[in-house]
Amino acid sequence: MSVCCSATTSHRCLKKIALAATLCVASVAVLAIHHTKTSGIMARIHHGLILCASNTGAQNIAQAATISSMDRPGMIRFGLTSGADGQVAVEPGSSTLATVLNTASHSNTLLMLDLHGADPKEVASEVSKAHMRDRVIFVPADYKSTAAALKADSKVMVAIPINSERDAYNAHRMAGRHPYAAYLSPSAAPSLFSLVHRDAEAIITDSPSTKISTADFLANRPVDIVITHQPYQLTTSLAVPPSTVTHSE
């Protein structure tokens, strides 16, 4: 009789343990989904303009986090290279991509990565390990590199340069269902910005010349990410709050 009771009790304990484990896994999954929805590139774009500090060293990841605290999402642009030891390194400096990804992950910072001579598959592998696939944009060096970047990871956004309507249609055809960003020159016509906005997940451009007001520039173009060497100056130069900068549908 005591054996039967013991067996029944053990069975109940196992069921409780299994239920607790299931709830823990579900909680982790919910937290991960919430983090993705609030920290990913598309979520940031939804909340306002993203300022990207251009290629000025790994220490600026902390500076980008400061921009985020000022209600403007932070992104850093780095160049990549293949190190002598086979690891992907970040330029300028001697930091490995893995180190920078880890720092960016903890500081809730987005990254734009110029692939240069780095293997897109190796870069994609590092990004995946760091759970940063939705917070990174690849910038290929040329057409061949673009094709390789699109194949490297189906979830990581790829920036494709667009200088004409033909480029816009080719980019859309080349990307297919892969998320991509249209990278336009600030001198491009506002109509080209509007054209690519229909298909691309994001629109990237460099900061405009000082001859034009940044606020006026953005008012006539649907821009999601502005790359600048002077993020703080650009922040203060924007006369309108981020919430009033709208994007055409």
Nearest 5 degrees, angle CA 217-CA 220-CA 222?
95
Q: Does the 48-244 domain belong in CATH 3.40.50.300?
A: no
CA distances from 169 to 175, 186, 195 (A): 10, 19, 10
Q: Which of 25-34, 121-130, 143-152, 235-244 has the lowest mean pLDDT?
A: 25-34
Classified as helix, coil or strand, 114 is: strand
> In this predicted model, what pLDDT tens digit does every residue of 167-191 receive, in sequence order?
999 999 999 999 999 999 999 999 9
Alpha helices in the chain (DSSP H): 2-39, 41-47, 60-69, 97-106, 120-129, 143-152, 165-175, 190-197, 214-219, 231-237
| pLDDT above 80 (res 84) | no
Q: Structure tokens of 162?
A: 């667009």
As a whole number of angstroms, the distance between CA 235 and CA 232 comes to 5
Domain borders along the chain are 1-39, 48-244
pTM: 0.76
Identity (one letter) of the amino acid at 137?
I
Judging by DSSP bridges, how do beta strands 180-184 and 136-139 pair with one another? unpaired
| pLDDT above 70 (res 13) | no
Contacts of 216 by beta carbon, 8 Å cutoff, 6+ apart: none
Average pLDDT of 108-123?
92
Computed from CA positions of residues 206, 64, 113, 116, in that sequence, does the dihedral angle turn out positive or negative?
Answer: positive
